[in-house]
Amino acid sequence: FFNSIHAAFKCAVDVGKILQVVTSSTNSQIGANNQDTDTFNFERSITLSSASNKVLAICNVNAMSNGGSGRMSGKLLWNTTSGGTSGTQIPFTQIANDSFDTSGMSSLTLVNLFSPNTTDTIYVKNIVSKNDNGTQWYVQRYSNYSYMTLMEIKN
C-alpha cells in the first residue's frame, strides 16, 4: 500500500518540474521605416530531453519607439530552423504609443507554454512589426536590453 502511494506521489511531483533553463539577451538596436512587415529581432534555442515535454517562453522586448503614432506588434514563433520570420506563432500582442524616442518608449512581455512535440533543437524567435503607418520605428532603442528565457517543463 505505502509503495503505491509513494510511487503515485513521486510521479505527481515530477510533472511540471523545470528540467532546464536557457536565456538570451540583446541590446542591438533594430529599426526600419516600413509598415506591417515582420522583422526578426532575436532568438534562443533549446533542445528538449523528451518530445512530450513543454516549453515555457518568457520574452521582454524593451525600448520600443513607434515613430510618433500607431501600434507596434510583438510575437514569438518557434521553428526547427534559426533566423528568419517563419515558424509556428505562439503569443502575439500589441502596444500603442503616440510619441517617439525619449518622449515615450514602451515595452511588451510575451509569455506562452507550448508543446513542440520534438527533441530536435527548436528556435524561439521574437518578431516585431510596425502597424498603422510606415514611420521610422525601433526596438532596443539607445542600447536598452531585451530578454528571453526558455524553460523545459516535464509533462
State the Cα angle at 131 between 77 and 76, rounded to 5°: 10
Over residues 103-111, the mean pLDDT reads 87
Arithmetic mean of pLDDT over the chain: 88
Task: Please give the residue that has the higher pLDDT: either 98 or 54.
Answer: 54
Of the pLDDT bands very low, low, confident and very high (cuts 50, 70, 90), residue 10 is: low
* 3-class state of residue 109 by DSSP: strand
Cα 112 from Cα 11, distance rounded (Å)? 24
Q: pLDDT tens across 122-143, in order?
A: 999 999 998 887 788 899 999 9
Residue 109's pLDDT is 95
Burial class (CB in 10 A: 0-12, 13-18, 19+), 40: middle
Note the maximum CA span of the chain.
69
Residue 22's pLDDT is 98
Cα 60 from Cα 83, distance rounded (Å)? 18
Of the pLDDT bands very low, low, confident and very high (cuts 50, 70, 90), residue 144 is: very high
DSSP single-letter state for residue 82: -
Which amino acid makes up residue 82?
S
Of the pLDDT bands very low, low, confident and very high (cuts 50, 70, 90), residue 7 is: low
Over residues 45-52, the mean pLDDT reads 98
Residue 12's pLDDT is 53
Asked whether the predicted pLDDT for residue 104 surpasses 80, the reply is no
